[in-house]
Each structure stands twice: as C-alpha cells, then as structure tokens.
Structure 1
Amino acid sequence: MKFHGVLFFPVTPFAPDGSLDGERLARHIESGVAAGAGGVFVACGTGEFHALTAEEIERATRIAVEAVDGRVPVLAAAGGPPPVARDQAARIRRAGADGILLLPPYLVSAPQRGLVRYVEEVSGASDLPVIFYQRGTTRLTEATAAEIAALPRVVGLKDGVGDIERMHRIVRAVRAVPGTEDFQFFNGLPTAEMTAPAYRGIGVELYSSAVFAFAPEIALAFHRALTEGDETLVTTLLDEFYGPLVQLRDEVPGYAVALIKAGVTVRGLDVGGVRAPLLDPTPEHMARLTELIAHGLEVVAA
C-alpha cells in the first residue's frame, strides 16, 4: 500500500437530528476522489473520530469503500483503550478498508515498551496494514519507532508531535532497519502544508491535507508547487492563505476540525455542525473563513 500525492481526510457529515448522514458522506468522498486524492482516511481526526461510535466508524468506512470503489486506498481510524481499538480494527476490516490509522491511547503516559505492546495488540486484531500516529502523550524514541516499524503489519508512521529533530532521528533509525525500504512517513500536523517544506527536508514528503476536504484546488496547487519547486507559489499560498488560516484556527480550541467542516459547507455541501465538545465557528469567523477561501482560490486561479 503505497501513497502518492495529497491525502484526503473527509469530514463526517451529520443530519439535522445529529445522526451520521451517509448520503452526504458518500458525495463528499466521491468529490474528493474525483478531484485527485491519493488516499482516503475516513473517520479520522478531521472526521471527528473522537465523537463517533464504533458502529458509526464501521458504517463510515463501508460508505467510503463503496464510494471509492478501489480507485485509491481507504483507511479508517482506531484508537483509545486497547479493547476498544481492537474492536474498531475488526470492524474496519469487516467494512472492507485497505488499512488502519492507529491513534494512540489517550490520557495516559506510557513507557516506550508499553507503546510497542499497544501497537502489537491492536495490529493483531486484523490482518490489515497499520499506520501508527504519534501525537499527544505518545512520543517515540528512535529505538521504539524502529521496533514498531519492524512489526509485521505496520507500514507507516504519522507524526503529529512536530519535533523535527526527533522525527529526523526516527526516520534515520527506521531506514537503518533491513526491510523497511517501503515504510512510509507522514506529516500529520494540523494544517500540514505550513510545515511540509521542513518535513520534506528530513525525508517526510507525505502529509495529510485538511484543506483538501473543502478546497482541493488550493491543496493540489500547493502540493504541485512544492513538488516542482515553485517557491513563488508556495510562499504566496503560505503567506496569504495557509498562514491566515492557521491564525484563525488557533483562536479557538477545536477549530482544526470545526473550520474544515465549515469550509465544506461554504463550498456547497452542507455537512452539519460538529459534535461536542467542539463548537461551530462564530458568524465572524465564518465570514473570515469564507473570505480566505475565496482569496485562496483566486491565487491558484491566477
């Protein structure tokens, strides 16, 4: 399972009664794949994994698999307490996904050996490939990362910590392990385009693009400019779109998800609001987001 291009993390639409809106999710995913997504990661961070039931994760995965119809890989998230994560992994497998994005256990600090044990136990719940997501309290040493990378089903490591020096050591340590030539690394920071140039410098070229969910034109233009060395467009988009978006994102906790969902609605597909404990953007912030999207589209069109 190899990834290329921009990775799509769809939002999870909710109907007026608060239930998962399968029809809108299918439309959202179809439009992203048609736009050129290199992979679909459903029911993950941008998809409000933290607020979904196990049944909803399984249903969202099944919808994604049907909508994608084999055109690109489909992965879904599992995580949290080991028994819960194992159940989610089994459900994702049953729904027909190509792999699992394994989020770490929450609210606990664990020794490095315990993190290896966690990945071993959850990855053993299915035969699917696993990408492990280090973030929050889960910070791997290079030795632990190399040990996890050598596990039979682990095919990738996604970084949501943002410690470039640590991540550089991890990349070098994993690459030194025989048989890891195809192991893939991902930049999983919020609004990853802001740090994509730095991550490319340490050999991490793949990243999750939340912006792709509502403005694939901007996300694809940025990725193309970054790949082709168009520093003028990269700098313009960072200065005039991504930078201001991050400033808005940081004004309210949870906006890394809420703004993305609002952006999808701005672009014409009403996907409903976010679930608690997140809050939807205020009218003022919605206006700023709408202006930012319009300007970003103007930049790439020019």
Structure 2
Amino acid sequence: MSDPETGRAPHVPVLLGPLLQAVAPVAGTWLDGTFGAGGYARGLLEAGADKVIGVDRDPLAIEMAQPWASDYGDRLQIVQANFANLDEVATGLDGVVLDLGVSSMQLDLAERGFSFMRDGPLDMRMSQDGPSAADFVNEMSEEDLADILYLYGEERASRRIAKAIARERAEGPIATTGQLATIVESCLPRARPGQSHPATRSFQGLRIAVNDEYGALAEGLMAAERALKPGGALAVVTFHSIEDRMVKRFFQMRTGGTGRANRYAPEAEEEVAAFTQKTRKGIGADEAELSVNPRSRSARLRVGFRTKSPAEEIDRAAMGMPGASKAGKTSKGRKGRRG
C-alpha cells in the first residue's frame, strides 16, 4: 500500500530494497499483511521466500491478483482478512511485512470514495462493509467528529470544520467526496504552491476512523509477535508520524525498554525483550528512490527480530495510539485543539 492522496501514480513498493536488505537472507514462509497490488509479496518471493501468504481485507485486492497469482503456484496464498488477526491466518512465520495506509488502486477508483481528487460516493471502506465515511459525517455528533479530525488527521481547525459539516448536513446529507472537500476548503486558507490540499488531513482522519486503522495497527503488531517464530522478522513501513510513533514505541517496549510515553510518566518495570533490532532508527528512502518514487518521501521502515520470549499484550495508550485513553483524548483532543 502507499501514502494517502498521492494522485494517479502507479503502485511502486516503497522501501522494498532497504526492507529486503534489512531482513536478508529471505527464506521460509512470510506473511504480507497489507497485500494490496502484491508488490511486497512478489519482491519477497523473488528474493528467496519459499512461500508468501498475502492478506488483505479489501476483496478488490484479491480479485485483481487472480491474473498473475498463479504464476507462483502454491508459493503464493492469498487470504481475505484483516492483518489485525494475522495470527489466526498463520503462525510459525519467518517474517511479517506491513505496509500501512491506503493503496493507489483504492485512490484511483472514484467509486471507492477515498480521494478528494476525483468526485465519488463518500465511502472509504477498505473491506467494503460496515459504516461508511458518509455514515460518520452525517450521523456522528459534531464533538466526536471534531475529535476524529484532530486525533487521527492532526487537523488543528477540526472544530471549525466539524461545525461547518454539521451546518451543511442540516440542509441535506453529505454524500460525495466533492461535497466534503468543498466544505473543508471553505474553512481553511487556500493552499500555496507546494502545499498539500486543504482537505488532506480531514480525509486522512476520516479514513483512519472508518477503517479503525490505528486499532488494527496496535492489534496487528501484537498478532505478529504471536505469529513469528524465534528469529523471525517484523518489518513495518509507515507514512505519517502517528503510525511511525506507534511502531517505534511498540519496538521500544518489546526490545526491553520501558516504553514510557514521556519523561514525566512513572518508571515502568523493565520488559523482557521479545524483539531485537539492528538499529532503532527508522530507515528512509535514498535519493535514488526519491527520484523515481516521490511517495517514498514520508515513508519510514522499522524492523525487529523475534526472540524466544513469550508474547504479551500491550497497552494501546502506552503505544501512542490516539484516543486510546479518555485522559489522552481530553488533554489533546479538547484543550489543545484550535479552530
């Protein structure tokens, strides 16, 4: 998958080279928890994996893989599922790869309702079931909608935008991406050349809420810990600061660190290391990749290797998940919000 709101550029696996280098030698059975267009799965198979299990909650991803998946025979297995439950798909894995965000094929289809760049129904559901973005926008309270835009989209004008949405929906349902983008634009200054579209943060926050992406990430990291065998690799590619913070703190807690959210928090008991890391720094794209794939500019790769220590549950708030605790939501979602 790839960075949200990137336009019509074809899918290119971001940081695939650095990922393969970080986990080399590639062998055994791997699970690609965000299968998408299959770029990472194919890269792993061509690098030496005996088998790759591709997991995606979007039925379209499964359908689009059918013309080429048979080229790999029984080395490639594709399963429709949420990577939050990946340990229910397979265990004893040699590696797990997660490439977070929304796929370019989802953005390019107006009828999926992910992008403000092309008008379509306000949907945004990766699994194509459950409440849609239109349901959230038209039925959620103004206060809760503002919290979503702020906590998940990091939109500082969230109150102003939520108020405008409430005012507009009182006149009639907000049904399309174009309608919502116009409302958001009316609340913010016009973007200067080189700046992102004014609706970027709001669409990101709404999409993340509709698909419970942060909840899935928290559960998926813990599921990967349960599914990996000793020595197995967990590689995660993120595209924005909140996701990267969650992955970074997960590894901090599970490599024997305290995982404290801030220096004022009470000292936590030292955790038994469930992972080791060759480097704690996130890996970014080099100039060569940036020149051919601009989407990689915000991408960060973090990799850990499983030890023999038992898997454990982790507190979502300590992992840095927005809104995971009422206290965190109050202090950040209300007192700190402008607009």
Structure with larger RCO (C-alpha < 8 A, sep 6+): 2
The TM-score with structure 2 as length reference comes to: 0.27
The TM-score with structure 1 as length reference comes to: 0.30
